[in-house]
Amino acid sequence: MRLNTLKFIFILLPFLAVCQNKEIERSLSFGFSFGKVLIHSKSIENIGTSNPKSISLNYYWRKTDIESYNKYSGLPALSTSLQYIDFQNNILQKGVIGSYSIHPSLLHSKIFEIDTRVGMGIAYLKNPYQSDNQAYSSPISTFLALGINSKFNISKKFQICLTGGINHISNGGLKLPNKGINWLESQFQLNYFISQKTDYKYFTNKYSNSKYNKTNFWKLYLFASSKNLITKPNQNKPILGIHLQYSHQVGRSNSLLYGIEHFLDYAQLVDNPLTSNNFHKTGLLIGHEFLWGSIHFNQQIGIYLHATPKGLSSWYHRWGLDYHCSNHIILGVNLLAHGVVAYFPDLRIGFTF
């Protein structure tokens, strides 16, 4: 437990280096939260009484120079968070979550602010491998978060933040059982600004006339994953795929996506040998992408172009985070899910043209 806590602290340290930049607005916050676990399957009804509580330490920063405004199509805040959570349940028990988030702005005034939160990280959970625990089977899992923040400025140095959102923990099917944990969360934070806070509108009014170039381009991804077998829980089989996508920019920070993908699910080949042809999976997708400079966050809905095995929906959705290393190379992570159940995560490399 101590070792994993140190690892998450280590994750935070590189970001603290930005404190040396005078054109960065930065703050520290302490928060506490309470929530309610959502039950989406009969197999996890035994965690229905779980009302998680947590405490967190958060570090926020926002670049305020013209180059950052043009790069990120605005001035979104970024944050890292270290969270200790108690699910208030003997099955789920306790854990530590380290995450990285981006906060695009929606509304700003001198007194009141609203921004959104899109987060991704790693969760260490204490109680895997138990026969009555169908929610998670590995101590290390992926953490995802979506939320909205309401902030009240009480001085140049202090700010109160009320946050609401939904969180998800899953290993993406790398080890079964893996129904995942979904919970609604409300959080209270007290923010302290290390440097004096500047009104957001000062910068947007100053930079609003700056020009930007709309870009439309194709993306070709190669992706890979590993999926735990249902019939042989101690074995994993690979998933290999290719994804072609067209991105059409419609604003400073938004694009529409259209895509097609094909992947080979070798776990399906073993778990359902009577439907071996279904280990070839092809889907059409449509979606949206937030453009934050070199970081792109996409959400897509897909449909398989073939019959699916019994119990597997024809519809699915994907969530992805891409980092554009250069004008032509992309590195990314993605999650494919059916409803609220994760099917598999993948790592991918992409090429733009």
Q: Are residues 279 and 334 in the same domain?
A: yes
Number of domains in the chain: 2
Residues 46 and 185 in one domain: yes
The CA distance from 121 to 101, in Å, is 9
CB 314 within 8 A of CB 327: no
Question: Are the C-beta atoms of 184 and 348 separated by less than 8 Å?
Answer: no
Q: How far apart are CA 47 and CA 39, in angstroms?
A: 8
Side-chain-side CA neighbours of 225 within 13 Å: the count stands at 26
pLDDT, position 16: 43
Handedness of CA 149, 152, 155, 160 (dihedral sign): negative
Which run of H or E residues covers position 72? Answer: helix 66-72
- Is residue 353 exposed (0-12), middle (13-18) or buried (19+ Cβ within 10 Å)? exposed
Same domain, 186 and 81: yes
Question: Same structural domain for residues 147 and 176?
Answer: yes
pLDDT at position 118 is: 87
Nearest C-alpha neighbor of 319 from the set 175, 178, 181, 146? 146
Indicate whether 61 and 189 sit together in one domain. yes
CATH of the domain at 167: 2.40.160.20
Last residue of a domain, one of 207, 231, 264: 207
Which residues is 246 bridged to in the sheet? 218, 258
Residue-level pLDDT at 18: 44
Same domain? 269 vs 140: no
Q: State whether 264 and 161 are in the same domain.
A: no
Count Cβ atoms below 10 Å from residue 336 Cβ, excluding itself.
26
Helix (H, G, I), strand (E, B) or coil at 213: coil
Give residue 202's pLDDT: 79
Report pLDDT for 21: 52
Domain end point (choices 207, 232, 260): 207
Same domain? 241 vs 172: no
Quick one: 299 and 248 in the same domain?
Answer: yes
The whole-angstrom separation of Cα 189 and Cα 195 is: 18
Residue type, 214: K
CB 129 within 8 A of CB 38: no
Q: Can you give the pLDDT of all 353 residues of the chain as single tens digits? A: 444 444 444 444 444 444 445 578 899 999 999 999 888 777 777 778 889 999 999 999 988 888 778 777 778 788 999 999 999 988 888 999 999 998 888 888 888 899 989 898 999 988 776 667 777 778 888 898 999 999 999 988 999 999 999 998 887 767 777 777 889 999 999 999 997 777 777 787 778 776 667 789 999 999 999 887 877 767 888 999 999 999 999 877 889 999 999 999 988 888 777 665 678 999 999 999 988 878 898 999 999 998 887 777 899 999 998 999 998 999 999 989 888 777 888 999 999 99
Domain match, 94 and 158 both: yes
Long-range contacts of 257-264 (CB under 8 A, 24+ apart): 257/285, 257/286, 257/287, 257/288, 257/289, 257/298, 257/300, 258/285, 258/286, 259/284, 259/285, 259/286, 259/287, 259/300, 260/284, 260/285, 261/285, 261/302, 263/223, 263/239, 264/238, 264/239, 264/240
Contact assessment for residue 167 and residue 36, using Cβ atoms and an 8 Å cutoff: no
The token pair at 284 is: 């059409």
Q: What is the span of the domain harbouring residue 64?
A: 2-207
**CB contact at 8 A, 332 and 300:** no
Domain co-membership, 142 together with 227: no
